[in-house]
Structure 1
Amino acid sequence: MNKPKKIATETDDWQALKSYTAARIALGRTGVSIPLRESLQFKLAHAHAKDAVYSCLDNSGLQEALADTELPIYSVYSQAANRDIYLQRPDLGRLLSEESARQLHDLNASPSQLSIIIADGLSASAVNTYAPLVIRNLIDAARLAGYTFAPITLVEQGRVAISDDIGHILQAQLVIMLIGERPGLSSFDSMGAYLTYAPQPGLTDERRNCLSNIRDQGLPPAVAVSKLMRLIDSAFRLQLTGVSLKDTDGSEPDRLPIG
C-alpha cells in the first residue's frame, strides 16, 4: 500500500519579523493552505478567547489576594443580570444595580483621593491573574506619595463607565478601574487600566486615560504601575484626565494643547 505523499511546508519571507510580534504572520504554506499546526493553533486561540469572554470574576480569590492592603473590599453588580445580557446590552453594564448603589450609599464613605475598582469586563481571567499584583504595588507606591483611598470595589458584569457612578458615590477625586479587555486571538489575558478625574455620572471616554494590554507578554505589571503613578500625579497637579493629559517621563509637557 502506497503511503500518502508528504507535502513540504514552505517558509515565509517574513519569518524574521515573528520575533517582534505575537501576531499571526509568516505562518508558512503547505500546498495552497496554511500548515495544519497553524490551523490547530488558531482554533486553540479562538477557544481561549471565547473562554475568556465567559470567565467569571474570582471574588473570593481577589479578596484574599488583596487582604494585606488593609482596605475594605465590597462586591457590587451592574444592571446586567447575567453574561448574555451583559454582552447584548453594553448600556446596562455601565450602570450600578439599584441594590449595589444603595449598598455604596449606605457606607457613608469619607472623601478620599483614590478609588480602585476591579471589573470583569470581557476577560475576567485577565483581571484574576494581573489585578492583585498591580493593585498591591500601586497602593504601596501611592501610600508613600501620601494619597488616601476609598474602599476597593469588585464589579461583576461591569463596563468602564460604571466607575463614574462608583467614584461619585464614594466621594473619590480619581478612580482607577482595572478591567478585562476584549480578548484577541493572540492576547486572551489582557487587562486595561482606566483613570478618571472628578468622576460623575454621564462622563464620556475623552475624559479618561487608558493603559492597555497589561500582561506579561504586553505591558508588564511593574511598568504599568510606574505609568499609573505618573498619570495619577499629573492628574492631581492639573486636575484633569483624558485627552488633555498624556503619560510622560518628565522630558516633555504632560498636558496637550487644546485647539
Structure 2
Amino acid sequence: MDEVELPRVLEQLWGVEGRSRPGPKPAFHISDIARAAVRLADAGGLGAVSMSKVAAELGFTTMSLYRYIDAKDDLYVVMVEHAFGVPPELDPEQDWRARITTWAEAFRDGLRAHPWVLQIPVYEPPLSPNQLTWLESALHAFDGTPLPPQDRLSAMLLVNIYVRGTTQLTANMATDPDEAREADRQYVERLAHLATPDRFPGIAAAFGQLPPDDTDEFRFGLNTVLDGIQAGIDRIR
C-alpha cells in the first residue's frame, strides 16, 4: 500500500514524523499555538484571530509562526482540536438514547463555550485526533441497536446538524441569563402587540407566555430527532 501523505498540521497533531524544516529547533509546540489562538477567539471572536496576533500572543514574529502553521485554515484546525478536547465518557449501561443525549449536550456545551467554532467553514470531515474521537464516541452511542455502520453515521450527522443549528440560532444572543430573560420578555411583549389573535392566531397561541428554559427547548428538539432515529430502528427490527 502506498504511503498516505498528510498535511503538516495533521502530522503534528498526530505526532508522526513529517517533513523536516530548515532552521533552529522549534521553540514551542503546536498546542501552544492552539491555546494562544483560542484565548484570542474566546475574548474577541474569530475575527480577533490572525497569524500576526497569535504570534504576538506567543512573543514571536509572524514569520516564525509559519514554521509550524502553513495557513490560517490550519490554524483553525488546531484551534478546534484544542477547544473541544475529548468527548465525555458514555455509560455502556445506558440505552442508546441516553448515550447520544450525553454526547449531544457535551457538544452543545463546547459550542456555547467557544461560539466562534460555528464561524469556521467546514470543507471536509474531521481528521484530527480529538475530532475523530468525538466521531467514534457518537458512533458507539448506537451500540446495541440494529443500525448498520452507515446508518449510525447518518444518525450521528443528524444529531450533529441539530446541535449546530440550534446553537447557531442563539450564538449572537445575550450570554448573561438576566439579559437573555429580559430580551425574551421584551420580544414576547412586542410580539403580543403586533401579532394579534385575530390576525395571527397560531403565533399568538405559541408565544402567549415567556419561552421555556432553553435547556427544555433543546431537549424537546433533540428528543424529536431521536424519535425519528428510533422509528428507523423499529423498521429494521
Give me the TM-score of the superposition, normalised by structure 2. 0.29
* Higher share of residues assigned strand: 1
